[in-house]
Structure 1
Amino acid sequence: MATSRPDCLFCKIVAGEVPADVVRATDDTVAFRDINPQAPTHVLVIPRDHYADAGEAARAGAGVMDAVARDAHEVAAAEGIAASGYRLVFNTGAGAGQTVFHVHGHVLGGRGLQWPPG
């Protein structure tokens, strides 16, 4: 089982040490609004336990990524974007734009999202 890391911003959000605009909290995940939104709806969904990236979380085999995906959908439904469509993005590694090394899914929606992105 993963633990928290004292130097991790997202672990501090989970612990309540750093404020965040939390929109959903379960036994498995915490979801909060991104401080630099890239769409009208931009919410991050993170597991409570620390995993550096999506690969590490998937390899843990504890249903971590299932919980993140499930709760991302619940966030999308609560935000009113599930029916029209939303994007769930995991940036894995610095080269892909990951800046906080605690796995997190970006729930993006509320406007048309072009493909391919970026």
Structure 2
Amino acid sequence: MVLVVIRSEHGKILLPVKHTSRFESDNTSFFPTRLQAQGNQIVNGVGTPVLLKGLMPPDPAKLHSKNKFNRYFFIKISETGTNVIRIPVYPENWVRDRDYLWRYLDPIVAWAGKLGM
């Protein structure tokens, strides 16, 4: 078994992440239901209207470089009442780092789901 160690531009060790064909989480039962448009409203899977309250945090790689890419950061976002987040993804990041999407977006999706976002 060979362990490949990747260092970020700031010298931190970034362990490779297993690539999968789809998002996998230990338990998806806590994730919100699928949203859809119904007339002029956005509704959840049972037809209840949903009001989206969103924030856009900084780029995950930038958060990582400041040691703020962690579940606690997203807990603080959810405590503001946010129920949807927009994650900026810059093409140069995922072109330069082939594991970028798995390293950053998979954990964010899991944390957001567990936090009801």
TM-score (norm 1): 0.32
Bigger strand fraction = 1
TM-score by length of 2: 0.32
Structure with max Cα Rg: 2
